[in-house]
Amino acid sequence: MPAGTLYAISDLHVAYEENRQIVRDMRPTSASDWLIVAGDVGERFEDVRWALGVLAERFERVIWCPGNHELWTPPDDPVQLRGVERYDALVELCRELGVSSPEDEYAVWTGADGPVVLAPLFVLYDYSFLVPGVRTKAESLARAYEVGVVCTDEMLLHPDPFPSREAWCADRLERTERRLAELPSDREVVLINHFPLVRAPTRILRYPEFAQWCGTTRTADWHVRFGARTVIYGHLHIPRVTWHDGVRFEEVSVGYPREWRRRPGAAGRLRRVLGTRAPSTPARVGAQR
């Protein structure tokens, strides 16, 4: 059986030089290690190319799903593609680099703990994680504007050609659900999505108004329906493990320097998902704080 380990990480945010250094220091522990990158690599197209390129050269296989930040169209980015066109260009970039995306056939981990299907997903959010005490999405969004907690996605994540991010999300849900339903029912799967598939992990957000940009109620039972062994996600910048219906959910984000500097341990520590346990320390990387 191959000796490799499947690791996961997300929210590399390489626009920050300190986070770029974390990526430069990121190394596998064996030649057959795989790495999941669960979104928010960066905003600028060339930054995403750089980071995924570095990782694709080092790990036997890299599996990526988009975060909201890759889908932004920053005004100063020479690549001004928006919405679906931008996503398609990112998928094309992944193909050039040999990185798997949600548009490729799902890879199967056949190392220790396998076989397990690795399913990177892109299902966005649809504002259904309402602010407590309101009844409609419009009220929920209005509340966010009132208190001044508005995700930058509202300005930079364009849904073109869909009329709204909500409509784009609906389309993604439909496509993704269809693909997952085609998997053999006896196959275990690791579901990989930038946003948590269930709402519970968002309950500890400092600003509850932010939850509406963190997922959709329509994926609430996917970990059970599709037999997930583990769910890997990021976006919240609150790295931790929670359990839902007996399924392990792991938030694997690095986050911004001001966030990771406050946490104990090495920033950018890769999380082991499946496979051989490294004899001493797992792949540790990044600046020690």
* Binding span for Fe ion by CB under 5 A among 5-13, 47-55, 182-190, 262-270: 5-13
Our finding on whether 67 is near Fe ion (CB under 5 A) is: yes
Of the two residues 109 and 260, which places its CB atom closer to Fe ion in the complex? 260
Tell me how far, at minimum, the Cβ of 255 lies from Fe ion, in Å: 7
Structure token digits, residue 128: 């259904």
Tell me how far, at minimum, the Cβ of 67 lies from Fe ion, in Å: 4
Nearest-Å Rg of the Cα atoms of the chain is 18
Amino acid, single-letter form, for residue 122: F
Helix (H, G, I), strand (E, B) or coil at 71: helix
Tell me how far, at minimum, the Cβ of 1 lies from Fe ion, in Å: 35
* Binding span for Fe ion by CB under 5 A among 4-12, 21-29, 119-127, 129-137: 4-12
Of the two residues 116 and 123, which places its CB atom closer to Fe ion in the complex? 123
Residues 204-263 that bind Fe ion (CB under 5 A): 235
Our finding on whether 101 is near Fe ion (CB under 5 A) is: no
Q: Does the N-terminal peptide bond of residue 115 adopt cis geometry, omega within 30 degrees of 0?
A: yes
* Binding span for Fe ion by CB under 5 A among 65-73, 138-146, 204-212, 213-221: 65-73
Q: Which residues contact 222 (CB under 8 A, 6 or more apart)?
A: 177, 180, 191, 197, 228
Q: Which residues contact 88 (CB under 8 A, 6 or more apart)?
A: none
Helices (H) and strands (E) in the chain, counts: 8, 10
Site for Fe ion (CB under 5 A): which residue of 5, 6, 11, 196?
A: 11
d(Cα 260, Cα 45) in Å, to the nearest integer? 24
Tell me how far, at minimum, the Cβ of 74 lies from Fe ion, in Å: 15
Residues 24-43 that bind Fe ion (CB under 5 A): 40
Our finding on whether 47 is near Fe ion (CB under 5 A) is: no
* Binding span for Fe ion by CB under 5 A among 11-19, 96-104, 180-188, 268-276: 11-19
Tell me how far, at minimum, the Cβ of 35 lies from Fe ion, in Å: 17
Residue from 133, 136, 117, 122 nearest 91 by CA: 122
Handedness of CA 160, 190, 235, 14 (dihedral sign): negative
Residue showing tokens 């407590």:
132
Residue ranges binding Fe ion (CB under 5 A):
11, 40, 67-68, 235
